[in-house]
């Protein structure tokens, strides 16, 4: 089995979308990079997500970052030399209360000021987008619609980044756990792995739901916690649903895959933090009823599979990205709260710029790890928990 070298410029922990994309952007700048994952590429949240790419958020920082990711996704097939399955099918976000209508109107003003082509749809206009949606039955008062939102295949994107990174000289070591981050005199100096000690000038913590545990080995405390999130997919049906449909009120989302199955998830408001990967009857029953309520023609369609993954959730539902106080060279890229695939390309590019000492396309300060200690953070409200 191939063993890592004694030293690299950067050691990346985690081989999901964040870790592999970061490795690619670092390697493209001429840095030597090693990526370590205790399992396989996409074994964490990346390989369990539905692949949605949304730009409609309630905070400017999130909108800017998501728009930057979309710019990257548009050209990613050509850049990486793979078919990523990227499509701009749009996101239809339903409002079911007067409070939501007001919140959406405020958010859309901000989003449009940043150049996002989002617009408000009345109930009749919603049916023009998805005629099968039971607008009256679900009590939709309207919807926010952005045609440039979309989705891609998480596996194809991540493996595309991984293989491109390797072509540039990066090395990816799967089934190689990181036991601790090595810290000497307040500086990250590498990692102790299951295949030995590897020295590095920079250590990137992209371990997703396990990032808090990784940080603890370096004496760093992070506030993110893992929460189970469940998803299902149905048997294939005739193509009819191009956009992703979301309701924050019902905590549900769904879209149709390229193979015809309806893929979607529901966030259980009573879910407790923990490393729970079990599939529950509660989710299956609730999600099936919601799909049948939203799209009556789906009644009787069979569920093929359900699975669970982990959201890496922060107190403000916004990622933790940047250096930590007290351990120089230890960079956090975690706490995405279910939005890692959407924000991954832009975030990874920013981290590579930061490590390489280049000017940043967007500021990292809003996602700084120490914002919680300072109490200087703005909560993201446009989320499915």
User: Quick one: average pLDDT of 252-272?
Assistant: 96
pLDDT bracket for residue 19 (50, 70, 90): very high
Does the pLDDT of residue 385 top 80, yes or no?
no
pLDDT at 14: 98
3-state secondary structure of 370: coil
**Beta strand segments in 122-281, E:** 142-146, 150-151, 171-173, 178-184, 187-193, 196-205, 225-234, 244-247, 252-256, 262-266
Q: Where are the domains of the chain?
A: 7-48+155-223+316-374, 88-148+225-313
The token pair that represents 122 in the structure block: 């009345």
Of 215, 193, 194, give the one whose Cα is nearest residue 204.
215
Q: Which ranges of 114-247 does DSSP label H, i.e. alpha helix?
A: 123-129, 135-138, 154-167, 211-216
pLDDT bracket for residue 316 (50, 70, 90): very high
Alpha-carbon span 108 to 115, nearest angstrom: 10
User: Quick one: average pLDDT of 176-201?
Assistant: 98
pLDDT bracket for residue 374 (50, 70, 90): confident
How many residues are there in the chain? 385
pLDDT one-digit tens code per residue, 27-58: 999 999 999 999 999 999 999 999 999 999 99
pTM of the model: 0.96
Top-tier CATH class for 7-48+155-223+316-374: alpha beta
User: Quick one: average pLDDT of 64-68?
Assistant: 98
pLDDT one-digit tens code per residue, 114-143: 999 999 999 999 999 999 999 999 999 999
pLDDT at 375: 74
Does the pLDDT of residue 378 top 80, yes or no?
no
pLDDT at 264: 97
pLDDT at 379: 85
Domain boundaries 88-148+225-313, corresponding CATH code: 3.30.9.10
pLDDT at 64: 98
Does the pLDDT of residue 382 top 90, yes or no?
no
pLDDT one-digit tens code per residue, 201-245: 999 999 999 999 999 999 999 999 999 999 999 999 999 999 999
**Domains 7-48+155-223+316-374 and 88-148+225-313 fall in the same CATH topology:** no
pLDDT one-digit tens code per residue, 82-103: 999 999 999 999 999 999 999 9
- Cβ atoms 66, 342 nearer than 8 A: yes
pLDDT at 232: 98
Helical (H) or strand (E) element with 311: strand 303-313
Give me the chain's average pLDDT, please. Answer: 96
Alpha-carbon span 63 to 349, nearest angstrom: 16
pLDDT at 376: 63
Does the pLDDT of residue 261 top 70, yes or no?
yes
Burial class (CB in 10 A: 0-12, 13-18, 19+), 333: buried
pLDDT one-digit tens code per residue, 351-373: 999 999 999 999 999 999 999 98
What are φ and ψ of residue 205, in 5° steps? -95, 90
Does the pLDDT of residue 112 top 80, yes or no?
yes
Alpha-carbon span 149 to 351, nearest angstrom: 24
| Rg (alpha carbons) of the chain, rounded to whole number | 21
Of 332, 352, 342, 309, give the one whose Cα is nearest residue 42.
309
pLDDT at 381: 87
Share of the chain above pLDDT 70, in %: 99
């Amino acid at each position: 089995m191939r063993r890592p070298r004694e030293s690299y410029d950067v050691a990346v922990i985690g081989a999901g979308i964040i870790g592999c994309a970061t490795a690619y952007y670092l390697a493209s700048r001429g840095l030597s990079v090693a990526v370590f994952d205790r399992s396989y590429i996409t074994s964490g949240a990346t390989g369990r997500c539905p692949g949605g790419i949304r730009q409609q958020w309630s905070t400017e920082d999130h909108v800017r970052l998501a728009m930057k990711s979309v710019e990257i996704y548009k050209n990613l097939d050509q850049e990486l030399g793979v078919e990523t399955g990227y499509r701009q099918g749009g996101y239809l976000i339903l409002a079911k209360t007067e409070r939501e209508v007001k919140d959406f109107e405020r958010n859309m003003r901000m989003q449009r000021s940043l150049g996002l082509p989002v617009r408000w749809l009345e109930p009749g206009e919603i049916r023009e987008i998805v005629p099968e949606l039971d607008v009256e039955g679900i009590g939709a008062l309207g919807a926010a619609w952005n045609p440039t939102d979309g989705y891609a295949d998480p596996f194809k994107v991540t493996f595309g980044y991984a293989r491109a990174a390797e072509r540039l000289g990066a090395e990816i070591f799967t089934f190689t756990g990181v036991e601790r981050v090595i810290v000497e005199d307040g500086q990250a100096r590498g990692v102790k792995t299951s295949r030995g000690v590897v020295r590095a000038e920079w250590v990137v913590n992209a371990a997703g739901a396990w990032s808090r545990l990784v940080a603890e080995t370096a004496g760093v405390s992070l506030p993110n916690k893992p929460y189970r999130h469940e998803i299902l997919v149905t048997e294939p049906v005739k193509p009819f649903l191009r956009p992703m449909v979301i309701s924050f009120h019902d905590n549900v989302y769904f879209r149709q895959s390229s193979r015809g199955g309806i893929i979607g998830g529901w966030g259980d408001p009573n879910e407790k933090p923990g490393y729970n990967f079990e599939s529950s009857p509660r989710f299956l029953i609730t999600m099936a009823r919601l799909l049948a309520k939203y799209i009556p023609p789906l009644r009787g369609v069979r569920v093929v599979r359900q699975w669970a993954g982990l959201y890496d959730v922060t107190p403000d539902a916004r990622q933790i990205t940047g250096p930590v106080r007290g351990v120089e060279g230890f960079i956090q890229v975690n706490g995405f709260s279910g939005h890692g695939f959407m924000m991954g390309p832009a975030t990874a590019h920013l981290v590579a710029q930061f490590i390489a000492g280049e000017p940043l396309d967007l500021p990292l300060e809003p996602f700084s790890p120490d914002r919680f200690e300072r109490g200087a953070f703005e909560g993201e409200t446009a989320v499915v928990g």
